[in-house]
Amino acid sequence: MLIPYIITIFFLILRTSRSSNMIVVHQNISDGQTIVSGNAKFELGFFSPGISKSRYLGIWFKNTSPQTVTWVANRETPLLDTLSVVKLDNQGNLTLVNGNGKVVWSSNSSASGTTINLVAQLLDTGNLVIKNGTITDNDNIVWQSFDYPGDTFLLGMKLGKNFISGKETYLTSWRSADDPSPGEYTYRFLMVKGKYQQSYIRRSSAIATRIGPFNGITISGRPLITIDTTHPAYVSSMVVNQNEMHFTAISTNDTITGSARATLTPGGTYEVFKQSFRNREWILSITLPADYCDNYGVCGPYGSCDTANSPYCGCLKGFERKISEEKSSDNDTSICRRRIALDCGPGEGFQKFSSMKQPDTENAVFSGNISLQDCEDACKNNCSCTAYASPNITPRGVGCLLWFGDLIDVRVYAQNGQDFYVRLAASEFSGRPIILPN
């Protein structure tokens, strides 16, 4: 008669003292219970954001104040009580069930082939994975939360597009600090074959801020950050092949994994934080947009924005502002035009612009393994080419961007800018060298 009683006590203790990093098949997590990653940096459980009374299943940084949530399962379907449970079935599907027994969220995953000992495990990176508990190979992951990001980018996460499935991964802001449902803003990459990768903040479908293209080390558009290439804490990479394009960043030291994050706020700013090892407080290191000139295309085609000048907007050399009958403020989008039209004559050359944010690559074509000299020749031999540049700043970096059409969203950087070369009419040079420093 004691055996059923002992078994009951065992499971009660198991339910109330859970401290592992995983959920096993048919072993539920109730509101008030959590699982914690092996490095004790991340925690999964139920929470209420801000002043909201609604409950959500999510992942957050453990032992930080205020609570910093990195992922929410049911962000569009809040729970109205504390009676919900999350459970894993023997097919590899993780479900969130409310107090009425209704499934309000599911991973919609199913294990294939021979699987034993399925578990949902919270990894040290903050990634929740469903996998065979006896295998560590990533190829055996059935499902992972990193494939469904919310408003937060963590080290090890990928943002980009799978060309086989068509699935795109990007960040989506919360609606407010009290409501994690999808907001107005997204942070995503231009991931189109033949186009060069760059990142944007969009408000609905409109571009609010173009962060910049990938420069071989990281995403450009962060001029105040000087990258430590000798002993970097984090290494960024852009993977481009026939099957996918994605951006990722990993830690070079396991001790700092889980100590950095980037968040897209409800107001549309992209903020990068590092955690202090001394007191575990979050230190804001990057905010984008940083100033007026980070607003997308604010100075119009062939315009250049410089916060050191007044007005901020001007025209690139070789271009002049159109005369308009409508009066506007000094910092309204300027309308620039070529001072002298191109005729594809033999004397046309290229004006060099330095310490700049390179133009929007939407109007550009990228070719890899091409030197800067070959890039110039390719642009010179195509009368439709308006500018060229190498996006890669690494010591032996190669690659060629050729622009066809307007040059948009250009700005001056006080430091850590890049070069690009704009095609001008022969008479613009008048005895000067073909390529001139800015």
Q: How does pLDDT run across 96-118, given as a tens digit for each residue? A: 999 999 999 999 998 876 667 89
Candidates 418, 412, 391; CA nearest to 195 is 391
Asked if 180 and 75 count as a contact pair (C-beta separation under 8 A), the reply is yes
Candidates 150, 149, 131, 128; CA nearest to 139 is 131
Asked if 313 and 334 count as a contact pair (C-beta separation under 8 A), the reply is yes
List the structure tokens of 247.
Answer: 């951006």
- pLDDT tens string, the chain, 438 residues long: the values are 444 444 344 444 444 445 589 999 988 999 999 999 999 999 999 999 999 999 999 999 998 888 999 999 999 999 999 999 999 998 999 999 999 999 999 999 988 766 678 999 999 999 999 998 766 666 688 999 999 999 999 999 999 999 999 999 999 999 999 999 999 999 999 888 888 999 999 999 999 999 989 888 888 876 555 555 566 677 888 998 999 999 999 887 766 556 889 999 999 999 999 888 777 889 998 999 999 999 999 999 999 999 999 999 999 999 999 866 544 454 555 589 999 999 998 889 999 999 999 999 998 999 988 999 999 999 999 999 999 999 998 887 789 999 999 999 999 998 888 999 999 999 998 755 444 334
> How many alpha carbons fall within 13 Å on the CB side of residue 13?
6
Q: In whole angstroms, what separates CA 279 from the centre of its chain?
A: 27
Q: How far apart are CA 328 and CA 334, in angstroms?
A: 9
List the structure tokens of 265.
Answer: 């706020």
Q: How far apart are CA 229 and CA 234, in angstroms?
A: 10
Question: Residue 76 to residues 72, 88, 129, 238: CA-CA distances in angstroms?
Answer: 9, 21, 21, 31
Per residue in 130-168, pLDDT (tens digit) is: 998 766 666 688 999 999 999 999 999 999 999 999 999
Q: What is the pTM of this model?
A: 0.88
Q: In whole angstroms, what separates CA 175 from the centre of its chain?
A: 18
